């Protein structure tokens, strides 16, 4: 019998995991590829300059979800697209024995524009694992303040055979603050279902220090020039309007067992969690998971 290559073995292991967990193989291929990006970042000279945030970071807190992007905040880097692509090229060229190969010639940077404001650089790339071809993105933002300061986070390997990955990451209060402020700013126009899903899962699985979250929210609102108001005010009527799209997103990502079917339950929970913070009523308090309240 011919020995299997690392790429073939990883591909078969991902297929088996998908079957046992009743998940889509492509979803796991995407996540494995993004882990490969992080594994290379962790051993590169750029590891102290790029901070993990976004969906991939959730795995460090036991809340892994489907995503096709790695989101990074650069601590000291030009926001020139070609410069960002050059840094990514150096990172992806690092040697890691996970079976993945990255097509460095496929790297394609473009400016991300969010509501007509410059907000970062997206670098698209193609990777290969055995016979699979995976397209993914790395989104790099520059200049966003981070408070509390970045911390070392450990992202567990999707496959048990793979080692954990240690990189700099957003602290949880900062990750939540960005999502909460975005929900507040966009109000009933928001289509960021993943943010509401992340607020639900994180606040139902972790205690949160009220003063740290308040400070993080102050950091985000100051940087964005946002006026603070309550979610209850800006999300009035939102759940009913958004229910069909929430249901479709939840089903498409296979989140039926993780997130409630009724979007109103998610919205009301976000209000209960966030409004005491926006209204500065959590000094000296902790969000207690076991009780689902501030005390």
**Structure confidence by residue, pLDDT tens digits, 166-199:** 999 999 999 999 999 999 999 999 999 999 999 9
* 219: pLDDT strictly greater than 70: yes
Give me the pLDDT at residue 116, please.
41
Q: Are residues 152 and 187 in the same domain?
A: no
**Could you say which of 149, 170, 191 is where a domain stops?**
170
Please choose, from the candidates 44, 123, 45, 117, the residue with its C-alpha nearest in 3D space to the C-alpha of residue 82.
Answer: 123
Phi, psi of 202 (to 5 degrees): -70, -45
Q: What rounded mean pLDDT belongs to the chain?
A: 95
β-sheet bridge partners, residue 287: 208, 294
Place of tokens 């207690």: 288
Least confident of 3-12, 164-173, 188-197, 272-281: 3-12
* 1 occurs within a structural domain: no
Per-residue pLDDT tens digits for 32-85: 999 999 999 999 999 999 999 999 999 999 999 999 999 999 998 998 999 999
pLDDT value at 118 more than 70: no
User: Are the C-beta atoms of residues 81 and 109 closer than 8 Å to each other?
Assistant: yes
63 in a domain, yes or no? yes
Domain boundary, last residue among 152, 170, 188: 170
Are residues 150 and 11 part of one domain?
yes
Q: Tell me, what's the pLDDT at 279? A: 98
Q: Is the pLDDT of residue 3 over 90?
A: no
Percent of the chain residues past pLDDT 70, beyond the cut = 97
- Chain Cα centroid distance, residue 279: 26
CA of 37: how far to CAs of 94, 101, 156, 165, in Å?
Answer: 9, 10, 14, 10
Quick check: 115 pLDDT over 70?
A: no
The predicted pLDDT at position 239 comes to 98
Statement to judge: residues 162 and 84 lie in one domain: yes
pLDDT on residue 4: 86
Confidence band of 2 (pLDDT split at 50, 70, 90): low
CA-CA distances (angstroms) from residue 154 to 69, 96, 107, 264? 18, 17, 27, 33
**177 and 161 in a common domain:** no
Is 114 a residue whose pLDDT tops 70? no
Q: Where is pLDDT greater, at 1 or 177? A: 177
The pLDDT, as a whole number, for residue 64 is 93
Q: Are residues 25 and 79 in the same domain?
A: yes
**Is 274 found in the same domain as 181?**
yes
Task: Let me know if residue 94 belongs to a domain.
Answer: yes
Do both 71 and 117 map to the same domain? Answer: yes
What value does the mean pLDDT take over residues 234-250?
98
Distance CA 204, CA 100 (A): 35
Burial status of residue 26 (CB atoms within 10 A of its CB: 0-12, 13-18, 19 or more): middle
Burial 168-204 (b: 16+ CB within 10 A, else e): bbbbbbbbbbbbbbbbbbbeeebeebbbbbbbbbbbe
Give the model's pLDDT for residue 61: 97
Say yes or no: 90 and 130 in one domain. yes
One domain, residues 158 and 184: no
> Residues 125, 138: contact at Cβ < 8 Å?
yes
Coil, strand or helix at 19: helix
First-to-last CA distance in the chain? Answer: 62
Section 138-160 average pLDDT = 95
Whether residue 270 is contained in a domain is answered as yes
Has residue 145 been placed in a domain?
Answer: yes
Instruction: Give the HSE-up count for residue 86: Cα atoms under 13 Å, Cβ half-sphere.
Output: 7
Query: Residue 118's domain spans which residues?
Result: 6-170
Number of domains present in the structure of the chain: 2
Does the residue 86 lie in any domain?
A: yes
pLDDT of res. 113: 75
63 and 81 part of one domain: yes
End residue of a domain, out of 141, 170, 199: 170
Per-residue confidence at 99, pLDDT binned at 50, 70, 90? Answer: very high
Is residue 263 in a domain?
yes
The answer to whether residues 11 and 130 belong to one domain is yes
Residues 206, 147, single domain; the answer is no
Q: Is the pLDDT of residue 104 over 90?
A: yes
Q: What is the pLDDT of residue 1?
A: 42
| Element housing 199 (H / E) | helix 193-203
Query: For residues 3 and 263, which has the higher predicted lDDT (pLDDT)?
Result: 263
Q: What angle do CA 266, 272, 274 make, to 5 degrees?
A: 95
Residue 150 DSSP one-character state: P
């Amino acid at each position: 019998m011919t020995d299997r290559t690392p790429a073939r073995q990883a591909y078969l292991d991902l297929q088996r995991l998908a079957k046992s967990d009743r998940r889509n193989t492509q979803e796991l291929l995407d996540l494995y590829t993004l882990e490969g990006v992080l594994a290379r970042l962790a051993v590169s000279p750029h590891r102290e300059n790029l901070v993990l945030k976004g969906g991939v970071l959730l795995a460090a807190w036991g809340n892994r979800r489907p995503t096709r992007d790695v989101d990074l905040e650069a601590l000291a880097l030009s926001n020139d697209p070609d410069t960002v692509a050059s840094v990514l090229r150096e990172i992806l060229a690092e040697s890691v024995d996970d079976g993945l190969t990255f097509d460095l010639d496929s790297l394609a940077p473009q400016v991300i524009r969010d509501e007509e404001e410059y907000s970062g650089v997206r670098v698209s790339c193609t990777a290969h694992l055995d016979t699979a071809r995976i397209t993914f993105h790395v989104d790099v933002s520059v200049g966003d303040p981070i408070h509390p300061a970045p911390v070392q986070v450990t992202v567990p390997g999707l496959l048990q055979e793979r080692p954990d990955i240690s990189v700099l990451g957003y602290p949880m209060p900062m990750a939540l603050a960005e999502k909460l402020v975005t929900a507040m700013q966009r109000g009933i126009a928001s289509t960021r279902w993943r943010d509401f899903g992340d607020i639900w899962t994180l606040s139902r699985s972790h205690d949160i220090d009220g003063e740290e979250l308040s400070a993080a929210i102050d950091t985000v609102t100051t940087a964005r020039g946002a006026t603070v108001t309550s979610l209850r005010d800006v999300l009035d009527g939102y759940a009913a309007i958004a229910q069909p799209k929430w249901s479709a997103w939840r089903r498409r990502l296979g989140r039926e067992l993780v997130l409630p079917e009724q979007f109103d339950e998610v919205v009301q929970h976000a209000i209960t969690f966030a409004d005491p913070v926006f209204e500065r009523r959590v000094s000296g308090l902790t969000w207690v998971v076991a009780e689902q309240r501030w005390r």
